[in-house]
Structure 1
Amino acid sequence: MAFLGVLAFSGSFPATVYAMQGMNPWLVATGRAALAGAIALTCLKATNHPLLPPRPLWPSYALISLGVVFGFPIFSGLALALGVSTSHAAVVIALLPAATAACAVLRAAERPRPLFWAACVVGATAVTAFTLTQHDQSQAAATWPDLLLVAALLSAAIGYTEGGRLSRRTPGWQVISHTLVLSLPVTVPITAILALTTPMTPTPQAAIGFAYVAVISMFVGFIPWYAGLARGGIARAGQTQLTQPLLTLLWAWLFMGERFGLATVAAALAVLVCVAVTQRART
């Protein structure tokens, strides 16, 4: 279940780049949440579920919203708009499982074994080293886009942990649906203002990219993702995200013309071994 979510998320960076070819980065970030919120609202009404979660849980849903509805899309979108390539941005994803595991310890009371942490560090190191060899070395130094990517990383880790924690009691699709619906009073007005005040070039490529980040990245992908985190443990199931940078690089190769060498095979094997170890290390 968690890997299905990772598979959906892995296309987010290339799709965001496509969307920003015809839309303002801020409009992409808020518009994707507004469209996903409309879909979530429709799903809740069609299934006769409450449109809003219990009031005592609103602070937790606000935390999820700040992390995955606003934080990650805005910070990562701005970084990509400043010229960061998808391969460079994938460095962040390599560190995301470790950050999610750390949040699971702090927020969800999980206590992974030392073997888990060792495999987590090795996997993150392998993917980071691989990804750093795939882009221009002039981008290796810390820059403002890199700081934005770090902010995106931390935002996603917090949103994933809190959503996985709530999904232990509430189905994952309802968790992300309630999060998006609670965000509508903010996302809809901002989207409307930006749509009226910023230039847009509605090319087919931009439309496809925006549709992907709104429907798949912002809604559909979270359904199996939160379910996987709840059933397998946030720290443990979250390690499946070690495969996301390699998947992102694959989509960049297929759809954006980026080329990579045989090092991909070695990195993929290293990641698969680390994921297998983390899945066997009991919490």
Structure 2
Amino acid sequence: MQASLAQRSSAGWGNGLLGVIIFSGSLPATRVAVGGFEPFFLTSTRAVIAALLAAGFLGLMRQPLPKRQDLTSLAVVALGVVIGFPLLSSLALQQMTAAQSLVLMGLLPLSTAIFAVVRGGERPKPLFWVFSGVGSLAVATFALLQNGEGSLLGSLYMFGAIIVCGLGYAEGATLSRKLGGWQVISWALVLALPVMLIASITSLPAEFPPITSKAWVGLAYVSIFSMMVGFIFWYRGLAIGGAAGVGQLMLLQPFFGLMLAALLLQESISSMMIAATVVVVGCVVGAKKYV
């Protein structure tokens, strides 16, 4: 029995870690993709590609249609993680580097926890808010000290992206108890398909500029892995290993993402970025302890 539990725990952490690694490549890939595609077209097209894959997967697995009372929650998930986060992060990455955006992403677990309080009625201990306040101050200080035109606007876009994504994660976590984790993201993608298909067609440029192979790879990555495959591993990990433990792996995302931005995009990683990331992750870990 103990060996079986240990194996399930290891499988949960392994799947969760794969999900986090896949998500960590999202912002660097988006940074590459917006070099060739306009943000609105990129956001809608990646959602259309992912939705078609999700529809095929749902059909293959013969999943029942969601109930009418679940459609509102699915719409919230779609607005948060299918539309809102991809669009706002794409706009942000026209103003800042992937490395800078990844530091701000350290607030995503905190954003999710806040919406869990609002949507799920959880009541964290007072020390939770101490850690969250220090973490927020570290992120705000980092954003204000950035140099370069447009960095403040990019930070505002990223803050918006983190807020809507946190809402989408919290709503999806609640709904996944009824529908299952991968089913939630799949149905959210399918629900958003008509709107995103129209948006993709209307935002289609009259003439594409020369698009590099890197931009095409970035589009493929965010469409297939960031919006579909990553969620399959992530939610499987949460289901097998437990959301409380495996969910903390999300805190590793800024570190993985910074390494990918340095390796793949040759972006410089400043000591301030590393320090801000360490402080933010440390604060979120502390806050998580006192939820």
Normalised to the residue count of structure 2, the TM-score between the two structures is: 0.81
Residue 166 of structure 1, aligned match among 138, 156, 175 = 175
Aligned residue identity for 1:65: A
Alignment partners' CA distance in 2, 1:146 and 1:132: 6
Q: Secondary structure at the match of 1:137?
A: coil
Partner of 2:250: 241
- Map Cα deviations across residues 4-40 of structure 1 (whole Å, 9 max, x no partner): 3322211111101211222221111111110000000
Partner of 2:204: 195
Q: Which consecutive residues of structure 1, in runs of 5 or more, have no partner in the other structure? A: none
Asked if the contact 1:98/1:121 (under 8 Å) is kept, the reply is: no
Cα pair distance change 1:158/1:44, threshold 3 Å:
same
Aligned residue identity for 1:221: G
Asked if the contact 1:160/1:226 (under 8 Å) is kept, the reply is: no
Deviation at 1:241, TM superposition (A): 2.9
Deviation at 1:216, TM superposition (A): 1.0
More deviation in 165-174 or 29-38? 165-174
Alignment partners' CA distance in 1, 2:223 and 2:163: 21
- Map Cα deviations across residues 237-280 of structure 1 (whole Å, 9 max, x no partner): 65433322222211110011123356777677667766665665
- What is the CA RMSD across the aligned residues, in angstroms? 3.0
Cα pair distance change 1:225/1:278, threshold 3 Å:
farther
Partner of 1:7: 21
Residue 106 of structure 2 corresponds to residue 97 of structure 1: no
Asked if the contact 2:106/2:281 (under 8 Å) is kept, the reply is: no
Cα pair distance change 1:146/1:37, threshold 3 Å:
same
Asked if the contact 1:60/1:162 (under 8 Å) is kept, the reply is: yes
Q: Secondary structure at the match of 1:111?
A: coil
Aligned residue identity for 2:221: Y
Asked if the contact 2:112/2:170 (under 8 Å) is kept, the reply is: yes
Partner of 2:152: 142
Normalised to the residue count of structure 1, the TM-score between the two structures is: 0.83
Partner of 2:81: 68
- State the number of aligned residues: 275
Cα pair distance change 1:200/1:258, threshold 3 Å:
same
Structure 1 residues 119-158: aligned runs within 5 Å: 119-120=131-132, 136-138=146-148, 142-143=152-153, 145-158=154-167
- Map Cα deviations across residues 191-210 of structure 1 (whole Å, 9 max, x no partner): 13333635253422111100
Alignment partners' CA distance in 1, 2:281 and 2:39: 34
Q: Which consecutive residues of structure 2, in runs of 5 or more, have no partner in the other structure? A: 1-12
